[in-house]
Structure 1
Amino acid sequence: MDLKRWTHIVAVADRRSFIRAAEQVHLSQPALTRSIQAAEAELGLQLFDRGTNEVVTTPAGEFVVARARQLVFNSRCLERDVELYRSRSLGDTAFGVGPFPAATFLSQLMTGMRREFPGINLRVEISNWQLLLKRLVEEDIEFFVADTRDLPPDPNLYIRALHRQPGGFYVRADHPLAARKSVSLQQLWSHGVLSVRLPAGVRAALSRLLGLASPADLSLALECDDIELLKKVALASDSVLAAPHAAVEEEVAAGKLHPLEASDLPAQSSEMGVVTLRGRTPSPMAELIISRLPARG
């Protein structure tokens, strides 16, 4: 039996009149009567006693109407929720971000989402791309944003490039290197470098410039995916912080961190991208978040 017929049954039970129920469901009285008769025939039950003054549900009708009422209610709720979902007013999502996105645009993005869509729930995992890829494959998150240079080639992954984030080296304002116009890579490394996990290509380039035998010989004073922790260590020690410019804008503007010019190092930037599973349709909220990420210029 289709949903419309269940709606007709509930309307007759509520209105206790075929005339009033027909007006409610926008049918003629004969058409509604035929619908109820067809329902009774299909169920093999008499649902209503047709009196002279009003229509009354039979015991079987009370049993059926109670369940039909719940069915109609759930259908209306579903229609409402689908419309809310379509308009992005409903639809929770979970996604992941690497350490650089977490330290640059994530805060502003999430603040905007919470202000615009207070009724939705978001879950954000901040980690390195290896763990985020695992979460994506397990379908625990819908997408992740991270440096994609070391991602293994996989036909099941779809990667959309984002805006590159240039980076550099920073020290506290009264650091011994802060007064120098330029410094060498060897000088940077002699003070100990703080960084997130470096992509393989970056490690290889740095190891060559430092004259190391292999990338495996390149050591970091502190390797951590938490940019905020790295900044705190740089501000309280002689260590050198490697980070995207956007992640340290406030500290540089406040005079707490000082950018260094590395004379023998070409300009560096991250290669950010949105990673999704190919063939999986993202939720409207996921699509909206992705559309607000800094696109590649």
Structure 2
Amino acid sequence: MHPLYEAFVQVVEQETMVKAAEALHLTQPTLTRQIRQLEAQLGVPLFDRIGKRLVLNRAGELVYRYAKRSLREDRRMREELRTLADPEAGTVSIGAGLTPSIYLLPPVLAAYRARHPRVRFEVRTGSSREVLEMLEAREIDLAFVTTVEAGREDLETQPLWHDDLLLVAAPDSDVARAGRLRLADLVRWPAVLMGSGSGLRDWVNELAARHGLHLDIAMETDSLESISRLVQLGVGWSVLPRSSAEGDVAAGRLAVVELTDVDLGARTVTLVTRRDSLLPACAARFAASLSGMRAGGGAAAGPEWDGV
């Protein structure tokens, strides 16, 4: 139908069959046949023929509006399809947890943009569960999360880097002054933790449950920066990723407290994509570039990256 619409719109806008045929690089008889074919398909005449003149009638005016809109949308679709196929242009839609979005991804995105200035990024944040729901709903192309359910055959996963977990407290607090502690000692002091439902909070809850501990939780928040600030003010201790805490530790605003009986370990930040979905070329190129990352702890200054 689109070639017929194009012929019709040109006749309307050029006002004569001769000019329209020239614009379309067609012969006038061919163009005339296309207009008659369109009228036959729609079941109505589109022009009143007055002598040798064609005058657009009411039906023609209606079809002209819809034909223009259809051709405009067709051009837009083709432009977007070309963008999808161009790895050097387009928008990469990303979903990320709080730690990756604030501390780990910015230097990676900035470095990639410097090499590929026509690529744009849209970043949405949420818990690992929320980000994976965005991915399943096809609202994002790539997910960066710290928690992925095992056995998900519908997802492709690529571990990128590890982020050590640190027990932190205010340098002048009783927790810090106590020196090396056992995990059970922490019940003596209040804690400041992420809100329920976050991966980090779930991890702390599971650790406490395994050791039969009941923590005194003084405050909950969904902001790592708020937790750091509250800990600095002496409200309580917390467990934070190294990437979010090491700047304040280096500046002396936070102290790292050693546990003698528990290794807090690290969280792995993982890139997740859908197996059943073809990524836009720009997103596929960016994801492929991340394979050059070398996983390692302490990524606050940006992970080591050999990406193109």
For 1:3-152, what aligned pairs fall within 5 Å after superposition?
A: 3-48=2-47, 49=49, 51=51, 55-59=53-57, 60-84=59-83, 86=85, 93=93, 95=95, 97-106=96-105, 122=122, 124-127=124-127, 129-133=128-132, 136-137=135-136, 144-148=143-147, 151-152=149-150
1:27-54 deviation per Cα after TM superposition (whole angstroms, max 9, x unaligned) = 23343233234334444544443755xx
Aligned-partner Cα distance in 2 for 1:143–1:21: 47
Residues 103 and 172 of structure 1: CA distance in aligned 2, closer, same or farther (over 3 Å): farther
Per the TM alignment, residue 158 of structure 1 is displaced from its structure 2 partner at its CA by 3.2
Residue range with higher mean Cα deviation, 192-201 or 20-29: 192-201
1:171 aligned residue (169, 177, 181): 169
1:250 correspondence with 2:277: no
Give the letter for the 1:237 counterpart.
G
Q: Secondary structure at the match of 1:163?
A: strand
Task: Tell me the residue number matched to 1:240.
Answer: 237
Hey, what does 1:230 align to over in structure 2?
Answer: 227
Offset at residue 163 of structure 1 (A): 0.9
Q: 1:51 to 1:123 in 2, by over 3 A?
A: farther
Structure 1 unaligned regions, length at least 5: 208-213
C-alpha distance in 1 between matches for 2:129 and 2:289: 24
- Distance 1:23-1:282 versus aligned 2 partners, 3 A rule: same
Indicate yes or no: 2:214 matched with 1:215.
Answer: no
TM-score (norm 1): 0.70
Number of residues of Structure 1 aligned to a counterpart in Structure 2: 283
In structure 2, what is the Cα distance between the partners aligned to 1:178 and 1:291?
A: 43
Asked if residue 271 in structure 1 is aligned to residue 265 in structure 2, the reply is: no
Q: Taking structure 1 as reference, are residues 155 and 255 closer, same or farther at Cα in structure 2, changes over 3 Å only?
A: same
Matched with 2:257 is: 260
1:56 alignment partner AA:
L
Instruction: Tell me how far apart the structure 2 counterparts of residues 41 and 50 of structure 1 sit (CA, whole Å).
Output: 20
Q: Take 1:136 and 1:42, find their aligned partners in 2: how far apart are those partners?
A: 42
What secondary structure, in the 3-state scheme, does the structure 1 residue paired with 2:64 have? Answer: helix
Contact (CA 8 Å) 1:93, 1:283: kept in 2 or not? no
Instruction: Give SS of 2:69's match.
Output: helix
Q: TM-score, normalised to structure 2's length?
A: 0.68
Structure 2 unaligned runs (5+)?
A: 296-308
Label 1:133 to 1:43 Cα distance change in 2 as closer, same or farther (>3 A): closer
> What secondary structure does 2:161 align onto?
coil
Q: Partner of 2:73: helix, strand, or coil?
A: helix
Maintained 8 Å contact 1:175/1:238: no
Deviations 1:138-192 (A, max 9, x none): 666665432226x243333432212111232222233356568x61334862445
Give the direction of change, closer, same or farther, for the CA distance of 1:195–1:291 in structure 2 (3 Å limit).
farther
Is this contact kept in 1: 2:93–2:142, CA < 8 A? Answer: no
* Aligned-pair CA distance for 1:24: 1.3
Which one-letter code corresponds to 1:126 in the other structure? G
* CA root-mean-square deviation: 4.3
Partner Cα distance (2:205, 2:156) in 1? 25
Give the letter for the 2:20 counterpart.
A
Q: Check 1:112–1:218 CA distance in 2 against 1; reply closer, same or farther (3 A cut).
A: farther
